Amino acid sequence: MRVLVLGGGGREHALCWALARAPSVDAVLCAPGNVGIAEVAELHDVDPTDTAMVRELAVRERVDLVVVGPEAPLVAGVTDSLQAADIPVFGPSSEAARIESSKVFAKEVMAAAGVPTARYWAGNDAESALAALRSFDPPYVVKADGLAAGKGVRICADEAAAGEALKELMVDQLVGAAGSTVLIEEFLEGPEVSVFGLCDGSDVMLLAPAQDFKRAHDGNAGPNTGGMGAYCPYPLDEATFDGLRDGVFRPVLAELAVRGAGYVGVLYAGLVLAPGGPEVLEFNARFGDPETQALLPRLASDLAEVLAACAAGRLAQVPAPRWDDHSAVTVVLTSGGYPGEYQTGQPINGLDEAAAVDGALVFHAGTRLDGDQVVTAGGRVLAVTGLAGTVGEARETAYAAADRIRFDGLQRRDDIAAAG
Ligand code: AMP
Ligand code: GLY
């Protein structure tokens, strides 16, 4: 198989790395990719959201399967465009991707499918939103309906803060049109876990649960980020995990199919393990970043075979995923100031020394070449994964490798998976 991966972050590096070692894969191509991905895939300078150019690339390169990394190309309709040319693609249509791009749509699907999720109010009128706050208890959860690059969710301690959040989203339009409709939600208490289901339209294969560390600083302090680290497997009890198939994934797939939005691709359930059972916080239409960098190195099955089976609607024909016995811990190295403003272009040293640590893998996210020198090129720069027999040992491996990497302003958390 010739597989084309769309995207150029740490998640796509892990996808390309896993596909490159899959026995069924002859070649991995990536658009646009990054410096690290270039070591395992052939790079093509094509913007993944330019659906016509992506289709042309896939046809020209006789690609057998396209795997879509980020949400933006999905929302732009890259899947619809590829399907029109009969190119197999792993990633939902723009209509099905609304499960991520509209939180109201996701809530409506969950309500119709009987999936447990936080009680909510939704609307586009600021006065009604303020009035609706009174039917909730603090802390108040205020969310923009649309995609807001991680800036659309506020947890507010009191009514004044919630009122301010509503004003910023609805009146000041801090996240643009994404905030013209808002949701107010009941606050859910409990540990968060990410579970990815590989979907073929009606059936699902669940991957091992992972936990993501979203806050910028140690002790879960500081602003929300795209993810500062992850570990896998998260110790979710078997009955709860198995219950997700019929309690969450299959009903959502059935409801989407009824709405004419059959879902092929990863359905990412962000769950809260509430005292009464798991509740869905959100769905994403893609693999999580950095959970994927912790998850895929443990996968012993042929990833391309499974993704191709999903694209062809024949998941039932592939065996359950096999995992190796290792635990994995991933530590993200970011530019100073992330998720706020940061500088790029800082030379990165120690990449080879880090990769030489036994059990360590270094995935590139925001990097580029400046001559022969790898330099920083984004907020999240690298994701360092450690693999070992226990979470504690995997953590030591990840940090031993991360310690060897240096660049000006490097920021990271020192407590990823510390409680595990
Ligand atoms: P989301 O973009 O919906 O994943 O929200 C970002 C983060 O906000 C989540 O990872 C949670 O930590 C937090 N969050 C969102 N909704 C709720 C809720 N209803 N209850 C508690 N925390 C929430
Ligand atoms: N790790 C969170 C996300 O990918 O959305």
Does 269 map to a domain?
A: yes
Greatest CA separation found in the chain? 59
Q: Which pLDDT tens digits describe the chain residue by residue (420 residues)?
A: 999 999 999 999 999 999 999 999 999 999 999 999 999 999 999 999 999 999 999 999 999 999 999 999 999 999 999 999 999 999 999 999 999 999 999 999 999 999 999 999 999 999 999 999 999 999 999 999 998 877 889 999 999 999 999 999 999 999 999 999 999 999 999 999 999 999 999 999 999 999 999 999 999 999 889 899 999 999 999 999 999 999 999 999 999 999 999 999 999 999 999 999 999 999 999 999 999 999 999 999 999 999 999 999 999 999 999 999 999 999 999 999 999 999 999 999 999 999 999 999 999 999 999 999 999 999 999 999 999 999 999 999 999 999 999 999 999 999 999 974
- Angstrom CA distances, 80 to 85, 112, 256, stand at 9, 25, 16
Considering the domain architecture, whether residues 332 and 266 belong to the same structural domain is answered as no
Q: For ligand 2, atom 4, name the residue with the nearest CA.
A: 288
Which ligand has the minimum distance to the alpha carbon of residue 139? 1
User: 307 and 203, same structural domain?
Assistant: yes
**How confident is the model at residue 226, as a pLDDT?**
87
Report long-range pairs for 396-400 (Cβ below 8 Å, ≥24 apart).
Answer: 397/329, 397/357, 397/358, 397/359, 397/360, 398/329, 398/330, 398/331, 398/360, 399/331, 400/357, 400/360
CATH number, domain of 243, equals: 3.30.470.20
Ligand 1 contact via 281 beta carbon (within 6 Å): yes
In a domain, residue 418? The reply is no
pLDDT at 150: 75
Q: Does one domain contain both 394 and 373?
A: yes
Judge if 270 and 335 occupy the same domain.
no
Question: Could you tell me if 193 and 312 lie in one domain?
Answer: yes
In a domain, 80, yes or no: yes
Q: Which domain holds residue 221?
A: 189-317
Shared domain for 137 and 79, answered yes or no, is no
CATH of the domain at 11: 3.40.50.20
- Indicate if ligand 1 lies below 6 Å from the C-beta of 192: yes
Gap from CA of 391 to ligand 1 centroid (Å):
25
The answer to whether residues 44 and 13 belong to one domain is yes
188 CB less than 6 Å from ligand 1?
yes
Helix/strand/coil (H, E, C) string of the chain?
A: CEEEEEECCHHHHHHHHHHHCCCCCCEEEEEECCCCHHHCCEECCCCCCCHHHHHHHHHHCCCCEEEECCHHHHHHCHHHHHHHCCCCEECCCCCCCHHHHCHHHHHHHHHHHCCCECCEEEECCHHHHHHHHHHCCCCEEEEECCCCCCCCEEEECCHHHHHHHHHHHHCCCCCHHHHCCEEEECCCCCCEEEEEEEEEECCEEECCCEEECCEEEHHHEEEECCCCEEEECCCCCHHHHHHHHHHHHHHHHHHHHHCCCCEEEEEEEEEEEECCEEEEEEEECCCCCCHHHHHHHHECCCHHHHHHHHHCCCHHHCCCCCECCCEEEEEEEECCCCCCCCCCCCECECHHHHHCCCCEEEEECCEEEECCEEEECCCEEEEEEEEECCHHHHHHHHHHHHCCCECCCCECCCCCCCCC
Q: Choose one of 110, 142, 153 to mutate for the ligand 1 pocket test, by most ligand atoms within 8 angstroms of C-beta.
A: 153
419 within a domain of the structure (yes/no): no
User: Is 413 inside any structural domain?
Assistant: no
Q: Which amino acid is at 131?
A: A
Residue that finishes a domain, picked among 262, 292, 317: 317
Asked whether 154 lines ligand 1 (CB < 6 A), one says no
Q: How far apart are CA 295 and CA 396, in angstroms?
A: 17
- Residue 207 maps to a domain: yes
Closest to 67 in 3D by CA, of 410, 290, 304, 417:
304
CA-nearest residue, atom 8 of ligand 1:
153
Cα 350 to chain centroid, rounded: 27
Same domain (yes/no): 294, 212 = yes
Q: Are 270 and 53 in contact (CB under 8 A)?
A: no
Tell me if the pTM is above 0.85.
yes
Is ligand 2 within 6 A of the CB of residue 229? no
Per-residue pLDDT, 420: 45
* 305 and 361 belong to one structural domain: no
CATH number at residue 141: 3.30.1490.20
* Pairing verdict, β 182-185 and 140-144: antiparallel
Question: How many structural domains compose the chain?
Answer: 4
- Residue 351 falls inside a structural domain: yes
**CATH code: domain of residue 374:** 3.90.600.10
Distance between Cα 365 and ligand 1 center (Å): 24
Within-domain flag for 354: yes
- Does 398 lie in the same domain as 386? yes
User: 209 and 168 in one domain?
Assistant: no
**Domain shared by 20 and 85, yes or no:** yes
